[in-house]
Amino acid sequence: MKNSKIYLAIPCLLLIFIASCKTAPKEEAVQSFELSDTMMKHCEFTEAKMQDVKSELKLFGKVTADNNKMAHVYPITGGIVADIHVELGDYVTQGQLLAVVKSSEVADFQRQLLDAKSDVALAEKNVQVAKDLYVGKLNSEKDVIASQKELEKANAELTRINEVYSIYHLKQGSEYRITAPISGFIVNKDITQNEELRNDRTEEVFSIAQIDEVWVLANVNESNISKVALGYEADVQTISYADKTFVGKVDKIFNVIDPTTKAMKILVKINNPDLLLKPEMNATVNLKFSENKKLIAIPSSAVLFDKSKNWVMVYKDKKHIETRQIEVYSKIGDITYITSGISENEKVISKNGLLIYDALND
């Protein structure tokens, strides 16, 4: 009986042993990621900071010359254009000859000058004669004074005609010279060789502008008027220099609505020392302004988009890097504002974070 009990116990033990072997969990290998020194050199780390939220407003406009640094040149009288010395786009200096015009009216100025000189000479002689006669008691003091008055009138007329010659740069003969009143670029030219200029012409023949500082006039739609204020920072870009940003500020707001475009204009002043910006260039203006609230801000390069969500790589140390989902409020240039997912002073990988993301999430 004793042996039979032993035999019965052995199968039971075997069954228990086999069952225990089948239900024992397998030990899984734990994989850990550590950022190498080489990779560390290729990454950048930035602390998340609480910042004022800035917004942008995109506008479209044109570059124009500063009206305060622009001169319009008009013909002083009618005539025939004898010679033109400059072309559109040329740089000219103050006093430089622009064109020569032959005019019968200038010839008349020449006659007036000769007459005025002759009248002065005659009046001087009359004064001397009157004085001599007065000394000889052959006329009165009143006659001397009258001759002196005539001399004063003759001198006044000569002075007037000489000033006309000086102001309009007239020379002897029938020609007058059109010269540059300021230094700058010829931005408008409305004169041709042998053209007849009318006496009643009201349009300028040349416009000269200094463009070391230019204006950008941009249109603001009615719905955005309340968002614009003086002093706002403005980033200006043009088609000609797609990779270059010109920085300025809103200098003037024209508080009228154009009935055609239904838009209000603003003026942005831009320093243009290299003369890259030219009048009539099309421009895109991005106005930057504060929304009067604070949010967590990180570099836009730190934000990774995958699976229709935004992520950042939160760095604690080489062995502790976390993939964190975030909620983006807005992106302005190279700054992204975050509403949730990251706290102030946490570090994020702002350069080559995608390589770390792929290594951790494959």
**pLDDT tens-place string over residues 67-121:** 899 999 999 888 999 999 999 999 999 999 999 999 888 888 888 888 999 999 9
DSSP 239: S
pTM of structure: 0.60
CA max distance for the chain: 188
39 Cβ partners below 8 Å, 6+ apart? 352, 355, 356
Contact 257, 263 (CB under 8 A): yes
Fold of 72-99+174-209: OB fold (Dihydrolipoamide Acetyltransferase, E2P) (2.40.50)
pLDDT less than 70: residues of the chain: 1-32
Q: Please tell me the predicted confidence (pLDDT) of residue 21.
A: 46
Is the backbone of residue 352 left (phi > 0), alpha (psi -120 to 50) or beta? left
141-167 and 104-135 helices, crossing angle to 10°? 160
Cα–Cα distance, 339 to 311 (Å, whole number): 13
Two structure tokens written together for 359: 């290594």
Please check whether residue 269 is in contact with residue 251, taking contact to mean a CB–CB distance below 8 angstroms: yes
CATH T-level fold of 37-53+293-361: 2.40.420
Q: For residue 173, what pLDDT is reported?
A: 75
CB 63 within 8 A of CB 238: yes
DSSP 273: T
Going by their DSSP bridges, the two strands 184-189 and 91-92 should be labelled as: antiparallel
Residues 6+ apart with CB under 8 A from 124: 151
Domain boundaries, the chain: 37-53+293-361, 58-67+210-292, 72-99+174-209, 104-173
Q: 58-67+210-292 architecture in CATH?
A: Beta Barrel (2.40)
